[in-house]
Amino acid sequence: MSRRSELRALLAFAGLGWRQARGQPIGLAGQCILYVIVLAIFWKLWNATPLQELDAAAPSAAELVWYLVVTEWIVFACGARYREVETDILSGAIESGLPRPLPYALATMARWLGFTAFQTVALIVVGSACGWWLTGTLPVALAVLPWLALSVVLAILLTLLCHLQLGYVAIWLRSSAPAFWVWQKLLFVMGGLLLPLTLYPGLLEIAAKASPFASMLYAPASLILESSVGHVCWILGAQLFWVAVLAWCAWAVDRRAIRRLVSVGT
Q: pLDDT (tens digit, 9 = 90+) per residue, 108-151?
A: 999 999 999 999 999 999 999 999 999 888 877 778 889 999 99
SS (H, E, C) the chain: CCHHHHHHHHHHHHHHHHHHHHCCHHHHHHHHHHHHHHHHHHHHHHHCCCHHHCCCCCCCHHHHHHHHHHHHHHHHHHCCCHHHHHHHHHHCHHHHHCCCCCCHHHHHHHHHHHHHHHHHHHHHHHHHHHHHHHHCCCCCCHHHHHHHHHHHHHHHHHHHHHHHHHHHCHHHHCCCHHHHHHHHHHHHHHCCCCCCHHHCCHHHHHHHHCCHHHHHCHHHHHHHCCCCHHHHHHHHHHHHHHHHHHHHHHHHHHHHHHHHHHHCCC
Model confidence, pTM: 0.92
Please determine, for residue 98, whether its predicted confidence score (pLDDT) is greater than 80: no
Overall number of domains in the chain:
1
Q: pLDDT (tens digit, 9 = 90+) per residue, 9-68?
A: 889 989 999 999 999 899 999 999 999 999 999 999 888 877 666 665 678 888 899 999
Average pLDDT, integer, range 88-114: 85
Residue ranges making up the domain that contains 201: 3-263
